[in-house]
């Protein structure tokens, strides 16, 4: 088990990983730990820089070379909140929360019909849902715009809510299906023998087993809706504009704006950061559409 000599190069360090787990040769272990820390810090660095810059005055933020220890200031946040971010933030919240609820209401029974009491050709249906994710939104955006224009749904948050629902529904169907597939069938049979209704079966037996799946689906649907820009940019303006749309219009001003932009970016990302950090394992399940549990 002498791997210490090979631990420099990329390929062998991957092998060393396994050695370390069992034998722990001290030197290569230290190198690998250091490498992990360095890479982690490098990936987090832009975000840390964003937070630090947001806490500097505009003048200090624009300095080159940068003044890392400039006095802290809340001016960036002040000018962000003076620019009227609350309506867009509330719009984003409304669109994300309501579309997530709609997605779950539609996806849960559908997933049930694709797993526990499957319809015929359920795999085809499942892959139809996935295939809609592969069609680029941009190819259907013009009719969506013209329709909204015709029926007066332009700049209406409900149109975005419906579109976000359709955008995230396939992900939720896939995810909930993979969780429902693990519900013990005996419990369901016992319930049907006892004469329990469909809704009762769903509520009392199925839901508790798949609660983690519902949480993951909700998390990922919320994040994707909160992040969405293209549809919101085309279909909304002053009334129903969401936070990402607000951000894109934020850099038009003259003069220094770096601290302000960093503060805005941080505030808008905060809900996603909080939700993602709080539920890291749910994040993995959600991202893999339930394939990885």
For the segment 235-274, give every residue that binds another protein (CB under 8 A): 243-244, 247-248, 250-251, 257-258, 261-262, 264-266, 268-269, 272-273
Q: Tell me, residue by residue from 77 to 116, as one string, x for binding to another protein by CB under 8 A and - for no binding.
A: -----------------------------xx-xx-xxx--
End-to-end CA distance of the chain: 33
Q: Which stretch binds another protein (CB under 8 A): 63-71, 80-88, 93-101, 204-212?
A: 63-71
Q: Which of residues 273-292 bind another protein (CB under 8 A)?
A: 273, 276-277, 280, 283-284, 287-292
Q: Position of tokens 């946040």?
A: 77
Q: What is d(CA 212, CA 194) in angstroms, rounded to the nearest whole number? A: 27
Q: Which of residues 122-181 bind another protein (CB under 8 A)?
A: 122-123, 125, 127-147, 162-163, 165-166, 169-170, 173, 177-178, 181
Q: Which of residues 28-57 bind another protein (CB under 8 A)?
A: 29, 32-33, 35-37, 39-41, 43-44, 46-47, 49-50, 53
Among 5, 21, 86, 152, binds another protein (CB under 8 A): 21
Please name which of 211, 212, 206 lies closest in space to residue 187, comparing C-alpha atoms.
206
Q: How far is the CB of 193 from another protein (least distance, A)?
A: 13
Q: Count residues contacting another protein (CB under 8 A)?
A: 120
Eight-state DSSP code of residue 205: I
Q: What is d(CA 220, CA 283) in angstroms, rounded to the nearest whole number? A: 7
Q: What is d(CA 255, CA 58) in angstroms, rounded to the nearest whole number? A: 9
Nearer residue to another protein within complex by CB, 84 or 249: 249
| Residue 187 interacting with another protein (CB under 8 A) | no
Distances (CA, A) of 125 to 170, 179, 220: 10, 17, 22
Q: How far is the CB of 242 from another protein (least distance, A)?
A: 10
**163 and 227 Cβ atoms separated by less than 8 Å:** no
Q: What is d(CA 212, CA 280) in angstroms, rounded to the nearest whole number? A: 12
**242 and 156 Cβ atoms separated by less than 8 Å:** no
119 membership: H or E segment, kind and range: none
Among 27, 117, 200, 203, binds another protein (CB under 8 A): 117
Q: How far is the CB of 82 from another protein (least distance, A)?
A: 18
Residues 6 or more apart in contact with residue 217 via CB below 8 angstroms: 103, 104, 107, 171, 172, 175, 176, 286, 290
> Does residue 195 come out as left (phi exceeding 0), alpha (psi in the -120 to 50 range) or beta?
left
| Residue 22 interacting with another protein (CB under 8 A) | yes
Q: How far is the CB of 195 from another protein (least distance, A)?
A: 15
Q: How far is the CB of 43 from another protein (least distance, A)?
A: 5
Nearer residue to another protein within complex by CB, 230 or 239: 230
Q: Position of tokens 């975005």?
A: 160
Nearer residue to another protein within complex by CB, 53 or 91: 53
Burial of 225 (0-12, 13-18, 19+ CB in 10 A): buried
Q: How far is the CB of 131 from another protein (least distance, A)?
A: 6
Q: How far is the CB of 220 from another protein (least distance, A)?
A: 11
């Amino acid at each position: 088990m002498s791997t210490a000599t090979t631990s420099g190069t990329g390929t062998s360090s991957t092998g060393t990983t396994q050695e370390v787990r069992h034998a722990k040769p001290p030197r290569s272990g230290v190198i690998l730990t250091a490498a992990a820390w360095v890479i982690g810090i490098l990936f987090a660095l832009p975000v840390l820089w964003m937070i630090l810059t947001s806490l500097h005055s505009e003048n200090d933020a624009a300095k080159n070379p940068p003044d890392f220890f400039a006095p802290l200031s809340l001016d960036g946040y002040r000018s962000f909140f003076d620019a009227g971010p609350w309506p867009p933030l509330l719009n984003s919240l409304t669109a994300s929360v309501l579309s997530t609820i709609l997605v779950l209401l539609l996806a849960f029974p559908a997933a049930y019909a694709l797993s526990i009491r499957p319809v015929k050709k359920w795999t085809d249906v499942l892959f139809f849902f996935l295939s809609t994710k592969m069609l680029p939104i941009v190819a259907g955006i013009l009719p969506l715009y013209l329709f909204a224009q015709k029926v007066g749904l332009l700049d209406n948050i409900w149109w975005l809510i419906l579109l976000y629902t359709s955008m995230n529904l396939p992900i939720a169907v896939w995810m909930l299906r993979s969780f429902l597939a693990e519900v013990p069938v005996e419990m369901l049979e016992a319930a049907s023998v006892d004469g329990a209704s469909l809704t009762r079966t769903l509520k009392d037996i199925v839901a508790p087993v798949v609660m983690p799946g519902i949480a993951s689906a909700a998390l990922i649907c919320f994040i994707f809706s909160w992040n969405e820009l293209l549809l919101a940019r085309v279909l909304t303006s002053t009334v129903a504009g969401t936070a990402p749309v607000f951000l894109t219009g934020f850099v038009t001003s003259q003069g220094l704006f770096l601290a302000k932009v960093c503060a805005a970016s941080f505030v808008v990302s905060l809900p996603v950061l909080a939700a993602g950090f709080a539920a890291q394992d749910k994040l993995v399940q959600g991202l893999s559409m339930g394939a990885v549990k």
